[in-house]
Structure 1
Amino acid sequence: MALNRYLLHVSYIGTNFHGAQRQVVGTFPRKDDPSTVQGQLEIALKQLNSCNEPIIALSSRTDSGVHALNTTCHVDLFRANGLHYEPRTITLCLNKYFKKHEVPIRILKTFIVPNDFHCQHKAVSRTYLYRLGVINANALNLAPHLHLLPIEELQRCHFLCTDTFDGEKFKLNAKLFEGLHDFRTFMGRGSHELHKMTRRLVHRAEVLDGKSLLYGPYSWPSVMPGTCQDYKFYDVYVQATGFLYRQVRRMVASLIAVAQGKVSSSDIKLMLEVPSHRSWNDKIKTVPAHGLYLCEVEYSKRDRAAFRDSLDS
């Protein structure tokens, strides 16, 4: 039997998962863990009837409630006849299982990769998106706005109801995070561990005007005229070589605090220049997970050249 390694491109809605990484630990045979993305992937892979127990390696570990538009993982599979599984067969088999069992995971693409390829260690960058919806609290009464949150956006976007939000400050201050910085202050936990490497190179930190996921003539705000202009959407993109625990959510929270006038640009600079858990400004509240999406895990051109999407390629 020959070992064959496969790279899976995966998307999922993280609302009901307890994170991407499996939580149930133990010795062989491992117990199933349907509460995590990794656990569900391993359960689905058993449908292929490989000679080995499929064990997924994740490229990125997202928290509970975080979504993924396109992330990656790899798995080694042994087939009795020593041949490869056709990548398309793996994609179709897993998606058929997820659809049947109503699991919010989809396989976008499967590749055959070299046996020494590692989806986490070979990644050159990761890109996250945070979706923010700002509600103008002064436009109408506060209660109607809170009641009119569109169902299409439920657990897909973080909504902030405020009468003080400077969109230009929100956009301009994002650039403070670009470059090589020590992000220890922005760690959700572990900032006391002095041995931990907390320097990260941020290639991109950018805020763009966003839009709602609303669609169709019968959806909000079509049936609620006069409210659309009171909702402003922003997309915050952050691309880096890697991230610390809750780093992106704390970065976005800092930008929101600046836009609301709770902290200044100098406060953000201080947290970057004096990396410590003591430097975190208590006026800043970490934004919730449901607005965060892992968009892409990138690999070098050289590694991508070795990916095979069929047995004939």
Structure 2
Amino acid sequence: MRRYLINLSYIGTGFRGIQRQTPSVDIDDPTTIQGQIEMGLKLLKPSYMSSCAVSSRTDAGVHALHTTLHVDLTRPNNEPYDPKTITIQLNKKFSKSFLPIRILSTYLVPNTFHCRREALSRTYMYRLCVIKYNGLIRNTLDKLIPIEEHNRAYFICCNDFDIDKAKDACKLFEGLHDFRTFMGRGSKQQNKITRKVVEKLDIIDEGHRFYTNFSWPNCINQNESDYKFYNIYCKGNAFVYNQVRRTVAALIAAAQGKVSTRDIKFMLEVPSHHSWDPRIKTVPAHGLYLCEVSYSETDRGTFHEGSV
């Protein structure tokens, strides 16, 4: 048996998240990222295959620019698989099936390595676009979203958006805090430890768009200058359920003047579901990207490279 670390990216639209929903690897699950990868690994015809272990769980609709998982495989002749072969074969399957999953690289790693426990940090990015009203009514928002950005960023209409207030609020989240207030009520682990360290929370003005040519809607009199993009980066070792999305929601509410830094400070200092400010609405999943899962240089020194 050999263990393989797989680096991958994906667009989460249309999937039920990364984690397989079926009870065992023997039952195919085409609705999740893990399920699709396990189905692809079966095409290698291993004599033994474990269930994939994912380094970070992402909800339905969340994307990943880089994340990892590991899997134990045994080849019929007991020789290790060439990591490059795993990368090529999985990408061939996803390409033929028109699936938005891309294997970036595969490594042969020690059997003691665990992609989740060994991860030093995880960095998330939330893509936000603020559109000026220009006299338009709210129900025109769908017409204002370029089709190539559909389900790739969160668009809001707002003329009074003070990004400096959001940046000031970022400082409140950094460091060690109890984030129970920011844990979604849908969490199945209500007794989970909620004290986490946010290493960095930062907002980059005019975040780069994924597309250079915008299909500006002809029926709406709107200019590119009316669109302001922001990338919100959140880095930490671990997060509670929905922590990043609810953190971003609080930053947006601060920029819109719905809540103050004092309100946010209260939610952090009095950790409870009851402390959540109802004026803040959790942002949707489709603007969230897992950017990076990082490991120590010591761990990296034990990886046998197989990137294409």
TM class by shorter chain equals over 0.9
Q: Give, as a single letter, the amino acid of the residue that structure 2 aligns with 1:13.
A: I
Report % sequence identity.
54
Q: Give, as a single letter, the amino acid of the residue that structure 1 aligns with 2:86.
A: I
- Listed as ranges, the gaps of 5+ residues in structure 2 are none
- Post-superposition Cα deviations, 1:262-306, rounded to whole Å, max 9, x if no partner, equal 110001111111111111001100000000000000111111111
1:270-289 alignment, distance < 5 Å? 270-289=266-285
Q: Kindly tell me: are residues 305 and 21 of structure 1, through their superposed partners in 2, closer, same or farther at Cα, counting changes over 3 Å? A: same
Give 2:12's aligned residue: 14
Give 1:189's aligned residue: 185
Superposition deviation, residue 174 in structure 1: 1.1
Q: Give, as a single letter, the amino acid of the residue that structure 2 aligns with 1:51.
A: S
Q: Provide the rounded CA distance (Å) in 1 between the counterparts of 2:11 and 2:189.
A: 32
Contact 1:88 1:109 in 2 (8 A): yes
- Post-superposition Cα deviations, 1:206-254, rounded to whole Å, max 9, x if no partner, equal 00011333324xx434988861111100000000010110000000000
* Partner residue of 1:180 out of 176, 183, 187: 176
Question: RMSD in angstroms over aligned alpha carbons?
Answer: 2.0
Give 2:77's aligned residue: 81
SS in 2 for 1:123: coil
- Post-superposition Cα deviations, 1:128-181, rounded to whole Å, max 9, x if no partner, equal 0000000111x2423666413111101000001122211111222112111011
SS in 1 for 2:114: coil
Q: Provide the rounded CA distance (Å) in 2 between the counterparts of 1:83 and 1:307.
A: 17
* Partner residue of 2:155 out of 159, 167, 176: 159
Residue 5 (1) aligns with residue 22 (2):
no
Residue 40 (1) aligns with residue 32 (2):
no
Q: Provide the rounded CA distance (Å) in 1 between the counterparts of 2:184 and 2:20.
A: 20
Give 1:93's aligned residue: 89
* Partner residue of 2:263 out of 264, 267, 272: 267
* Partner residue of 1:25 out of 23, 26, 48: 23
SS in 2 for 1:249: helix
SS in 2 for 1:202: strand
* Partner residue of 2:231 out of 214, 231, 235: 235
1:82-121 alignment, distance < 5 Å? 82-121=78-117
Contact 2:17 2:32 in 1 (8 A): yes
Q: Provide the rounded CA distance (Å) in 2 between the counterparts of 1:191 and 1:14.
A: 20
Q: Provide the rounded CA distance (Å) in 1 between the counterparts of 2:66 and 2:118.
A: 16
Residue 141 (1) aligns with residue 139 (2):
no
Deviates more, 1:126-135 or 1:50-59: 50-59
Q: Provide the rounded CA distance (Å) in 2 between the counterparts of 1:234 and 1:179.
A: 23
1:247-258 alignment, distance < 5 Å? 247-258=243-254
Q: Provide the rounded CA distance (Å) in 2 between the counterparts of 1:191 and 1:222.
A: 39
Q: Give, as a single letter, the amino acid of the residue that structure 2 aligns with 1:74.
A: H
Q: Give, as a single letter, the amino acid of the residue that structure 2 aligns with 1:5.
A: R
Contact 1:192 1:277 in 2 (8 A): no
Contact 1:184 1:191 in 2 (8 A): no
Deviates more, 1:185-194 or 1:164-173: 185-194
TM-score (norm: length of structure 2): 0.94
SS in 2 for 1:7: strand
Q: Provide the rounded CA distance (Å) in 2 between the counterparts of 1:53 and 1:102.
A: 25
SS in 2 for 1:60: coil
Contact 2:5 2:71 in 1 (8 A): yes
Residue 205 (1) aligns with residue 201 (2):
yes
Matched positions, count: 304
- Listed as ranges, the gaps of 5+ residues in structure 1 are none
Contact 1:19 1:65 in 2 (8 A): yes
